[in-house]
Amino acid sequence: MSDEIAIKVEHVSKNFVLPHEKVSSIKGLFTNVAKKRHGRTIETQHALKDISFEIKKGEFFGIVGRNGSGKSTMLKILAGIYQPTSGRVQTYGKLVPFIELGVGFNPELTGRENVYLNGAMLGFSEAQVKEMYSGIVKFAELEKFMDQKLKNYSSGMQVRLAFSMATRAEADILLVDEVLAVGDADFQRKCFSYFRSLKKNNKTVVFVSHDMGAIREYCDRALLIDESEVQNIGKTSEVSREYSRLFIEQSSSEASAEQKDKDKRWGNGNAKVKNLSLNKTIFTDRDDTLRLTVKVEVFRPDSDLMTGFRIRTAAGQSLHETNTWVANKKMPELQPGETCDVVWELPNLFTDGEYTIDTYVYGEGTVVLDAWDEGIVFTVKRPDAQGFLINIPPSVTIKK
Protein backbone atom coordinates (compact mmCIF):
# COMPACT_ATOMS: atom_id res chain seq x y z
CA MET A 1 0.00 0.00 0.00
CA SER A 2 1.25 3.45 -0.83
CA ASP A 3 0.00 6.97 -0.41
CA GLU A 4 -1.01 7.16 -4.03
CA ILE A 5 -4.72 7.46 -4.50
CA ALA A 6 -6.64 5.02 -6.67
CA ILE A 7 -10.16 6.33 -6.24
CA LYS A 8 -11.28 9.69 -4.96
CA VAL A 9 -14.93 10.30 -4.21
CA GLU A 10 -15.94 13.85 -3.44
CA HIS A 11 -19.36 14.81 -2.10
CA VAL A 12 -21.22 12.35 -4.24
CA SER A 13 -24.99 12.38 -4.05
CA LYS A 14 -27.36 10.37 -6.14
CA ASN A 15 -31.05 10.96 -6.51
CA PHE A 16 -33.37 8.70 -8.37
CA VAL A 17 -36.49 10.34 -9.64
CA LEU A 18 -39.33 7.93 -9.34
CA PRO A 19 -42.42 9.01 -11.16
CA HIS A 20 -45.32 7.21 -9.54
CA GLU A 21 -46.58 6.60 -12.98
CA LYS A 22 -43.59 6.42 -15.27
CA VAL A 23 -43.95 8.74 -18.23
CA SER A 24 -42.99 6.42 -21.00
CA SER A 25 -45.54 7.34 -23.59
CA ILE A 26 -45.95 10.60 -25.40
CA LYS A 27 -49.57 10.88 -24.30
CA GLY A 28 -48.36 10.48 -20.74
CA LEU A 29 -45.94 13.34 -21.23
CA PHE A 30 -48.81 15.68 -22.02
CA THR A 31 -51.32 14.44 -19.49
CA ASN A 32 -48.74 14.47 -16.74
CA VAL A 33 -47.73 18.08 -17.23
CA ALA A 34 -50.77 19.24 -15.30
CA LYS A 35 -50.17 16.81 -12.46
CA LYS A 36 -46.49 17.66 -12.17
CA ARG A 37 -47.35 21.17 -11.09
CA HIS A 38 -49.02 19.83 -8.00
CA GLY A 39 -45.92 17.79 -7.31
CA ARG A 40 -47.82 14.59 -6.94
CA THR A 41 -46.32 12.41 -9.57
CA ILE A 42 -42.67 12.70 -8.78
CA GLU A 43 -40.87 11.32 -5.81
CA THR A 44 -37.16 11.74 -5.38
CA GLN A 45 -35.31 8.95 -3.75
CA HIS A 46 -32.00 9.95 -2.21
CA ALA A 47 -29.91 6.87 -2.75
CA LEU A 48 -26.68 8.54 -1.64
CA LYS A 49 -26.14 11.72 0.30
CA ASP A 50 -22.84 13.58 0.25
CA ILE A 51 -20.45 10.67 0.23
CA SER A 52 -16.73 11.37 0.31
CA PHE A 53 -13.84 8.97 0.70
CA GLU A 54 -10.51 8.01 -0.76
CA ILE A 55 -9.12 4.62 -1.60
CA LYS A 56 -5.36 4.20 -1.79
CA LYS A 57 -3.46 2.15 -4.33
CA GLY A 58 -3.06 -1.44 -3.29
CA GLU A 59 -5.78 -1.24 -0.70
CA PHE A 60 -8.53 -3.79 -0.12
CA PHE A 61 -11.48 -1.60 0.58
CA GLY A 62 -14.85 -2.85 1.75
CA ILE A 63 -18.19 -1.14 1.33
CA VAL A 64 -20.71 -2.57 3.72
CA GLY A 65 -24.33 -1.79 4.41
CA ARG A 66 -27.68 -3.38 4.86
CA ASN A 67 -29.96 -4.12 1.93
CA GLY A 68 -31.15 -0.87 0.39
CA SER A 69 -28.52 1.22 2.16
CA GLY A 70 -27.09 2.55 -1.11
CA LYS A 71 -23.93 0.46 -1.29
CA SER A 72 -24.73 -1.04 -4.68
CA THR A 73 -25.56 2.38 -6.07
CA MET A 74 -22.15 3.54 -4.82
CA LEU A 75 -20.49 0.64 -6.62
CA LYS A 76 -22.31 1.43 -9.85
CA ILE A 77 -21.23 5.05 -9.62
CA LEU A 78 -17.62 3.96 -9.08
CA ALA A 79 -17.98 1.72 -12.12
CA GLY A 80 -19.28 4.62 -14.21
CA ILE A 81 -22.57 2.86 -14.84
CA TYR A 82 -24.58 5.50 -13.02
CA GLN A 83 -23.82 9.21 -13.04
CA PRO A 84 -23.72 10.99 -9.70
CA THR A 85 -26.36 13.71 -9.35
CA SER A 86 -23.73 15.93 -7.77
CA GLY A 87 -20.13 15.56 -6.68
CA ARG A 88 -17.49 13.67 -8.58
CA VAL A 89 -15.53 10.47 -8.73
CA GLN A 90 -11.99 10.25 -9.99
CA THR A 91 -10.27 6.98 -10.67
CA TYR A 92 -6.60 6.55 -11.43
CA GLY A 93 -5.76 3.46 -13.44
CA LYS A 94 -7.76 0.91 -15.40
CA LEU A 95 -10.91 -0.11 -13.62
CA VAL A 96 -12.84 -3.32 -14.25
CA PRO A 97 -16.14 -3.96 -12.49
CA PHE A 98 -17.41 -7.40 -11.57
CA ILE A 99 -20.98 -6.68 -10.73
CA GLU A 100 -21.77 -9.95 -12.37
CA LEU A 101 -19.56 -12.68 -13.71
CA GLY A 102 -19.68 -13.45 -17.40
CA VAL A 103 -21.02 -10.12 -18.57
CA GLY A 104 -22.41 -10.49 -22.07
CA PHE A 105 -22.56 -14.28 -21.98
CA ASN A 106 -25.04 -15.46 -24.55
CA PRO A 107 -26.67 -18.87 -24.09
CA GLU A 108 -26.99 -19.40 -27.84
CA LEU A 109 -23.25 -19.17 -28.43
CA THR A 110 -20.69 -21.86 -27.74
CA GLY A 111 -18.35 -21.70 -24.79
CA ARG A 112 -15.51 -20.70 -27.10
CA GLU A 113 -17.48 -17.86 -28.71
CA ASN A 114 -18.54 -16.63 -25.29
CA VAL A 115 -14.95 -16.47 -24.15
CA TYR A 116 -14.22 -14.08 -27.02
CA LEU A 117 -17.35 -12.04 -26.36
CA ASN A 118 -16.78 -11.73 -22.63
CA GLY A 119 -13.12 -11.06 -23.32
CA ALA A 120 -14.15 -8.11 -25.48
CA MET A 121 -16.35 -6.78 -22.69
CA LEU A 122 -13.31 -6.92 -20.42
CA GLY A 123 -11.28 -5.08 -23.04
CA PHE A 124 -9.28 -7.91 -24.62
CA SER A 125 -8.72 -8.04 -28.35
CA GLU A 126 -9.18 -11.32 -30.21
CA ALA A 127 -5.45 -11.82 -30.41
CA GLN A 128 -5.10 -11.41 -26.66
CA VAL A 129 -7.94 -13.83 -25.94
CA LYS A 130 -6.44 -16.35 -28.35
CA GLU A 131 -3.20 -16.20 -26.45
CA MET A 132 -4.73 -16.93 -23.09
CA TYR A 133 -7.51 -19.17 -24.36
CA SER A 134 -6.01 -22.50 -23.38
CA GLY A 135 -5.18 -21.18 -19.93
CA ILE A 136 -8.74 -20.02 -19.42
CA VAL A 137 -10.21 -23.33 -20.49
CA LYS A 138 -7.81 -25.30 -18.39
CA PHE A 139 -8.49 -23.26 -15.28
CA ALA A 140 -12.23 -23.68 -15.79
CA GLU A 141 -11.73 -27.44 -16.39
CA LEU A 142 -14.00 -27.33 -19.42
CA GLU A 143 -11.72 -28.65 -22.17
CA LYS A 144 -14.34 -31.04 -23.51
CA PHE A 145 -17.22 -28.61 -23.54
CA MET A 146 -15.94 -25.53 -25.31
CA ASP A 147 -17.77 -26.24 -28.56
CA GLN A 148 -21.09 -26.78 -26.87
CA LYS A 149 -23.59 -24.01 -26.53
CA LEU A 150 -23.59 -22.23 -23.24
CA LYS A 151 -27.26 -23.06 -22.68
CA ASN A 152 -26.25 -26.69 -22.32
CA TYR A 153 -23.81 -25.89 -19.53
CA SER A 154 -24.74 -26.44 -15.92
CA SER A 155 -24.81 -23.29 -13.84
CA GLY A 156 -21.64 -24.46 -12.10
CA MET A 157 -19.85 -24.80 -15.44
CA GLN A 158 -20.97 -21.33 -16.47
CA VAL A 159 -19.68 -19.83 -13.25
CA ARG A 160 -16.38 -21.64 -13.65
CA LEU A 161 -15.91 -20.31 -17.16
CA ALA A 162 -16.91 -16.80 -16.13
CA PHE A 163 -14.64 -16.81 -13.12
CA SER A 164 -11.78 -18.13 -15.18
CA MET A 165 -12.27 -15.14 -17.48
CA ALA A 166 -12.49 -12.73 -14.58
CA THR A 167 -9.18 -13.82 -13.16
CA ARG A 168 -7.54 -12.77 -16.42
CA ALA A 169 -8.82 -9.22 -16.26
CA GLU A 170 -5.94 -6.80 -16.39
CA ALA A 171 -6.96 -3.99 -14.16
CA ASP A 172 -5.41 -1.71 -11.60
CA ILE A 173 -8.71 -1.40 -9.77
CA LEU A 174 -11.27 -4.17 -9.43
CA LEU A 175 -14.80 -3.58 -8.24
CA VAL A 176 -16.26 -6.76 -6.85
CA ASP A 177 -19.87 -7.24 -5.89
CA GLU A 178 -20.98 -9.70 -3.26
CA VAL A 179 -22.61 -11.91 -5.86
CA LEU A 180 -19.14 -13.31 -6.41
CA ALA A 181 -19.22 -14.71 -2.92
CA VAL A 182 -21.85 -17.27 -3.85
CA GLY A 183 -21.11 -20.73 -5.07
CA ASP A 184 -20.01 -24.01 -3.60
CA ALA A 185 -17.15 -24.50 -1.19
CA ASP A 186 -14.72 -25.40 -3.94
CA PHE A 187 -15.52 -22.23 -5.84
CA GLN A 188 -15.25 -20.16 -2.67
CA ARG A 189 -11.76 -21.51 -2.15
CA LYS A 190 -10.81 -20.50 -5.67
CA CYS A 191 -12.19 -17.03 -5.08
CA PHE A 192 -10.28 -16.83 -1.86
CA SER A 193 -6.96 -17.69 -3.39
CA TYR A 194 -7.68 -15.32 -6.26
CA PHE A 195 -8.26 -12.48 -3.80
CA ARG A 196 -5.06 -13.42 -2.05
CA SER A 197 -3.14 -13.19 -5.29
CA LEU A 198 -4.68 -9.79 -6.02
CA LYS A 199 -3.49 -8.61 -2.67
CA LYS A 200 -0.05 -9.91 -3.36
CA ASN A 201 0.08 -8.15 -6.74
CA ASN A 202 -0.78 -4.86 -5.13
CA LYS A 203 -4.10 -4.43 -6.90
CA THR A 204 -6.70 -2.09 -5.57
CA VAL A 205 -9.90 -3.94 -4.81
CA VAL A 206 -13.26 -2.51 -3.79
CA PHE A 207 -15.45 -5.19 -2.33
CA VAL A 208 -19.13 -4.62 -1.66
CA SER A 209 -21.08 -6.85 0.64
CA HIS A 210 -23.67 -6.98 3.38
CA ASP A 211 -21.74 -9.83 4.93
CA MET A 212 -19.36 -8.39 7.49
CA GLY A 213 -17.56 -11.71 7.74
CA ALA A 214 -16.43 -11.52 4.14
CA ILE A 215 -15.37 -7.90 4.53
CA ARG A 216 -13.36 -8.77 7.62
CA GLU A 217 -11.75 -11.62 5.78
CA TYR A 218 -10.24 -9.52 3.02
CA CYS A 219 -10.42 -5.82 3.66
CA ASP A 220 -7.94 -3.44 5.25
CA ARG A 221 -10.39 -0.62 5.55
CA ALA A 222 -14.10 -0.35 5.14
CA LEU A 223 -16.88 2.13 4.60
CA LEU A 224 -20.22 1.65 6.28
CA ILE A 225 -23.16 3.11 4.43
CA ASP A 226 -26.51 3.26 6.12
CA GLU A 227 -29.59 5.15 5.04
CA SER A 228 -27.65 6.65 2.13
CA GLU A 229 -25.01 8.23 4.31
CA VAL A 230 -21.51 7.41 5.46
CA GLN A 231 -21.85 6.04 8.98
CA ASN A 232 -18.27 5.11 9.52
CA ILE A 233 -15.08 4.76 7.61
CA GLY A 234 -11.88 3.29 8.93
CA LYS A 235 -10.32 0.08 10.07
CA THR A 236 -12.41 -2.96 9.30
CA SER A 237 -12.72 -3.97 12.95
CA GLU A 238 -14.16 -0.61 13.96
CA VAL A 239 -16.58 -0.54 11.07
CA SER A 240 -17.57 -4.08 11.85
CA ARG A 241 -18.59 -3.11 15.38
CA GLU A 242 -20.60 -0.19 14.15
CA TYR A 243 -22.30 -2.43 11.64
CA SER A 244 -23.32 -4.91 14.34
CA ARG A 245 -24.77 -2.06 16.37
CA LEU A 246 -27.08 -1.18 13.51
CA PHE A 247 -28.76 -4.53 13.89
CA ILE A 248 -29.15 -4.18 17.63
CA GLU A 249 -30.68 -0.75 17.26
CA GLN A 250 -32.91 -2.07 14.60
CA SER A 251 -34.17 -4.99 16.65
CA SER A 252 -34.79 -2.92 19.76
CA SER A 253 -36.71 -0.28 17.90
CA GLU A 254 -38.64 -2.68 15.74
CA ALA A 255 -42.39 -3.02 16.21
CA SER A 256 -43.92 -3.20 19.66
CA ALA A 257 -42.55 -5.17 22.57
CA GLU A 258 -45.53 -7.46 22.45
CA GLN A 259 -45.11 -8.23 18.80
CA LYS A 260 -41.41 -8.78 19.42
CA ASP A 261 -42.09 -11.33 22.10
CA LYS A 262 -44.55 -13.10 19.88
CA ASP A 263 -42.00 -13.48 17.09
CA LYS A 264 -39.19 -14.46 19.38
CA ARG A 265 -40.98 -16.80 21.72
CA TRP A 266 -42.72 -20.01 20.91
CA GLY A 267 -43.31 -23.49 22.30
CA ASN A 268 -46.26 -25.47 23.65
CA GLY A 269 -46.13 -23.75 27.05
CA ASN A 270 -45.92 -26.84 29.28
CA ALA A 271 -42.94 -25.17 30.87
CA LYS A 272 -41.59 -21.66 30.59
CA VAL A 273 -38.43 -19.73 31.21
CA LYS A 274 -39.83 -17.59 33.97
CA ASN A 275 -36.81 -15.45 34.38
CA LEU A 276 -33.54 -15.00 32.57
CA SER A 277 -30.73 -13.01 34.08
CA LEU A 278 -27.08 -12.30 33.58
CA ASN A 279 -24.76 -11.05 36.32
CA LYS A 280 -23.77 -7.99 34.30
CA THR A 281 -24.70 -6.31 31.02
CA ILE A 282 -21.23 -5.06 30.14
CA PHE A 283 -18.12 -7.19 30.45
CA THR A 284 -14.84 -5.41 30.21
CA ASP A 285 -12.30 -7.71 31.74
CA ARG A 286 -10.71 -10.89 30.57
CA ASP A 287 -11.24 -12.43 34.01
CA ASP A 288 -14.94 -11.60 34.07
CA THR A 289 -17.22 -14.57 34.40
CA LEU A 290 -20.57 -14.63 32.69
CA ARG A 291 -23.20 -16.06 35.01
CA LEU A 292 -26.47 -16.86 33.29
CA THR A 293 -29.41 -17.85 35.46
CA VAL A 294 -32.38 -19.54 33.81
CA LYS A 295 -35.44 -19.94 36.03
CA VAL A 296 -37.72 -22.64 34.66
CA GLU A 297 -41.35 -22.94 35.75
CA VAL A 298 -43.34 -26.04 34.96
CA PHE A 299 -47.07 -26.13 34.21
CA ARG A 300 -47.39 -29.81 33.25
CA PRO A 301 -45.02 -32.45 34.64
CA ASP A 302 -42.44 -33.72 32.21
CA SER A 303 -40.04 -36.57 32.88
CA ASP A 304 -37.33 -35.42 30.49
CA LEU A 305 -36.83 -31.70 30.94
CA MET A 306 -33.80 -30.10 29.39
CA THR A 307 -32.73 -26.51 29.07
CA GLY A 308 -30.00 -24.80 27.15
CA PHE A 309 -28.84 -21.60 25.55
CA ARG A 310 -27.15 -20.23 22.51
CA ILE A 311 -24.95 -17.12 22.20
CA ARG A 312 -24.99 -15.21 18.96
CA THR A 313 -23.21 -12.19 17.58
CA ALA A 314 -25.23 -9.11 16.76
CA ALA A 315 -25.06 -10.13 13.12
CA GLY A 316 -26.77 -13.39 14.03
CA GLN A 317 -23.91 -15.83 13.84
CA SER A 318 -24.05 -18.61 16.45
CA LEU A 319 -20.93 -18.69 18.60
CA HIS A 320 -21.73 -21.21 21.22
CA GLU A 321 -24.52 -23.54 22.23
CA THR A 322 -24.92 -25.96 25.09
CA ASN A 323 -27.63 -27.53 27.23
CA THR A 324 -28.11 -29.62 30.33
CA TRP A 325 -28.10 -32.86 28.37
CA VAL A 326 -24.76 -32.04 26.75
CA ALA A 327 -23.46 -30.98 30.17
CA ASN A 328 -24.66 -34.33 31.52
CA LYS A 329 -26.87 -32.82 34.24
CA LYS A 330 -30.39 -34.01 34.85
CA MET A 331 -33.14 -31.55 35.65
CA PRO A 332 -35.37 -32.44 38.63
CA GLU A 333 -38.94 -33.61 38.01
CA LEU A 334 -41.04 -30.62 38.86
CA GLN A 335 -44.70 -30.46 39.81
CA PRO A 336 -46.95 -27.78 38.24
CA GLY A 337 -46.10 -24.40 39.72
CA GLU A 338 -42.64 -25.44 40.90
CA THR A 339 -39.53 -23.71 39.60
CA CYS A 340 -35.83 -24.42 39.45
CA ASP A 341 -32.80 -22.31 38.65
CA VAL A 342 -30.20 -23.47 36.15
CA VAL A 343 -27.04 -21.44 36.57
CA TRP A 344 -24.41 -21.42 33.85
CA GLU A 345 -20.97 -19.96 34.24
CA LEU A 346 -18.60 -19.33 31.40
CA PRO A 347 -15.33 -17.52 30.92
CA ASN A 348 -15.19 -14.28 28.99
CA LEU A 349 -13.85 -15.61 25.70
CA PHE A 350 -15.68 -12.92 23.79
CA THR A 351 -14.28 -10.12 21.75
CA ASP A 352 -15.38 -6.54 21.47
CA GLY A 353 -19.01 -6.34 20.40
CA GLU A 354 -22.57 -7.05 21.27
CA TYR A 355 -24.15 -10.47 21.75
CA THR A 356 -27.55 -11.96 22.27
CA ILE A 357 -28.59 -15.07 24.16
CA ASP A 358 -31.36 -17.45 23.11
CA THR A 359 -32.71 -19.93 25.66
CA TYR A 360 -34.99 -22.93 25.37
CA VAL A 361 -36.69 -25.62 27.41
CA TYR A 362 -37.30 -29.00 25.80
CA GLY A 363 -39.51 -31.80 27.08
CA GLU A 364 -39.78 -35.52 26.44
CA GLY A 365 -39.10 -36.38 22.81
CA THR A 366 -37.35 -33.03 22.38
CA VAL A 367 -40.64 -31.18 22.13
CA VAL A 368 -40.15 -27.44 22.37
CA LEU A 369 -41.87 -26.27 25.55
CA ASP A 370 -40.49 -22.79 25.40
CA ALA A 371 -37.98 -21.11 23.14
CA TRP A 372 -36.98 -17.52 23.69
CA ASP A 373 -34.79 -15.84 21.11
CA GLU A 374 -32.64 -12.90 22.07
CA GLY A 375 -33.88 -12.86 25.63
CA ILE A 376 -30.78 -11.07 26.81
CA VAL A 377 -28.34 -8.70 25.17
CA PHE A 378 -24.89 -8.10 26.57
CA THR A 379 -21.89 -6.07 25.52
CA VAL A 380 -18.25 -6.88 25.69
CA LYS A 381 -15.86 -3.95 25.72
CA ARG A 382 -12.41 -5.26 25.16
CA PRO A 383 -10.10 -2.89 23.32
CA ASP A 384 -7.49 -5.63 23.52
CA ALA A 385 -9.67 -8.09 21.61
CA GLN A 386 -11.02 -6.81 18.35
CA GLY A 387 -11.77 -8.12 14.95
CA PHE A 388 -12.11 -11.82 15.66
CA LEU A 389 -14.99 -14.02 16.64
CA ILE A 390 -13.55 -15.35 19.88
CA ASN A 391 -10.66 -14.54 22.09
CA ILE A 392 -8.75 -17.46 23.51
CA PRO A 393 -6.28 -16.55 26.24
CA PRO A 394 -3.12 -18.32 25.18
CA SER A 395 -0.33 -19.66 27.26
CA VAL A 396 2.99 -19.52 25.54
CA THR A 397 6.41 -20.87 26.39
CA ILE A 398 9.54 -20.18 24.47
CA LYS A 399 12.41 -22.59 24.71
CA LYS A 400 15.90 -22.32 23.47
Partner 1 sequence: MHKLQQRYRYSFILLKQLVKTDFKLRYQGSALGYVWSLLKPLLLFVTLYFVFARFLNFGDTIEHYPQYLLLGILLWNYFTEVTTGAVGAIVGKGDLMRKINFPKYVIILAGSFSAFINLLLNFVVLSVFMAFGGISIGWSGLLIIPLIAELFIFSIALAFFLSALFVRFRDISYIWEVVMQAAFYATPILYALQIVPHNIAKYMILNPMAQIIQDSRYVLITNQTQTISYVYGGNSIIWAIPIGVTLITVVLAATYFRSRSKYFAEEV
With CA atoms as reference, report the closest residue to 244 among 355, 319, 320: 355
Q: Kindly state the smallest distance separating residue 184's Cβ from partner 1, in Å.
A: 23
Q: Site residues for partner 1, window 246-265 (CB under 8 A)?
A: none
Q: What's the 3-state SS for the chain? A: CCCCEEEEEEEEEEEEEEECCCCCCHHHHHHHHHHHHCCCCEEEEEEEEEEEEEEECCCEEEEECCCCCCHHHHHHHHCCCCCCCEEEEEECCCEEEECCCCCCCCCCCEHHHHHHHHHHHCCCCHHHHHHHHHHHHHHHCCHHHCCCEHHHCCHHHHHHHHHHHHCCCCCCEEEECHHHHCCCHHHHHHHHHHHHHHHHCCCEEEEEECCHHHHHHHCCEEEEEECCEEEEEEEHHHHHHHHHHHHHHHHHHCCCHHHHHHHHEECCCCEEEEEEEECCCEECCCCCEEEEEEEEEECCCCCCCEEEEEEEECCCCEEEEEECCCCCCCCCCCCCCCEEEEEEEEECCECCEEEEEEEEEECCCCCEEEEEEEEEEEEECCCCCCCCCECCCCCCCCCC
Q: Kindly state the smallest distance separating residue 104's Cβ from partner 1, in Å.
A: 6
| Cβ distance to partner 1 smaller for residue 117 or 225 | 117
Q: 1, 18, 29, 326: which one contacts partner 1 (CB under 8 A)?
A: 29
| Cβ distance to partner 1 smaller for residue 20 or 329 | 20
| Cβ distance to partner 1 smaller for residue 116 or 139 | 116
| Cβ distance to partner 1 smaller for residue 115 or 230 | 115
Q: Site residues for partner 1, window 70-129 (CB under 8 A)?
A: 76, 79-83, 94, 97, 99-100, 103-104, 106, 108-109, 113, 116-117, 119-121, 123-126
Query: How many residues contact partner 1, by CB under 8 A?
Result: 32
Q: Kindly state the smallest distance separating residue 81's Cβ from partner 1, in Å.
A: 5
| Cβ distance to partner 1 smaller for residue 97 or 267 | 97
Strand partners, 46: 15
Q: Kindly state the smallest distance separating residue 16's Cβ from partner 1, in Å.
A: 7
Q: 3, 24, 257, 287: which one contacts partner 1 (CB under 8 A)?
A: 24
Q: Site residues for partner 1, window 134-193 (CB under 8 A)?
A: none
Q: Kindly state the smallest distance separating residue 55's Cβ from partner 1, in Å.
A: 18
Q: 2, 20, 21, 25: which one contacts partner 1 (CB under 8 A)?
A: 25
Q: Kindly state the smallest distance separating residue 168's Cβ from partner 1, in Å.
A: 14
Hey, CA dihedral for 32, 37, 41, 42, is it positive or negative? positive
Q: How far apart are CA 361 and CA 371, in angstroms?
A: 6
Q: 3, 27, 383, 399: which one contacts partner 1 (CB under 8 A)?
A: 27
| Cβ distance to partner 1 smaller for residue 151 or 189 | 151
Q: Kindly state the smallest distance separating residue 108's Cβ from partner 1, in Å.
A: 6
| Cβ distance to partner 1 smaller for residue 106 or 188 | 106
| Cβ distance to partner 1 smaller for residue 14 or 221 | 14
Q: Residue 323 — left, alpha, or beta (φ > 0 → left; ψ -120 to 50 → alpha)?
A: beta
Query: Which of these ranges, 18-26, 164-172, 199-207, 341-349, lies near partner 1 under the rule CB under 8 A?
Result: 18-26
Q: Kindly state the smallest distance separating residue 198's Cβ from partner 1, in Å.
A: 19
| Cβ distance to partner 1 smaller for residue 79 or 305 | 79
Q: Kindly state the smallest distance separating residue 204's Cβ from partner 1, in Å.
A: 17
In contact, 355 and 390? CB cutoff 8 Å: no
Q: Kindly state the smallest distance separating residue 26's Cβ from partner 1, in Å.
A: 5
In contact, 282 and 379? CB cutoff 8 Å: yes
| Cβ distance to partner 1 smaller for residue 74 or 224 | 74
Name the site residues for partner 1 (rule: CB under 8 A).
Answer: 16, 23-27, 29, 76, 79-83, 94, 97, 99-100, 103-104, 106, 108-109, 113, 116-117, 119-121, 123-126
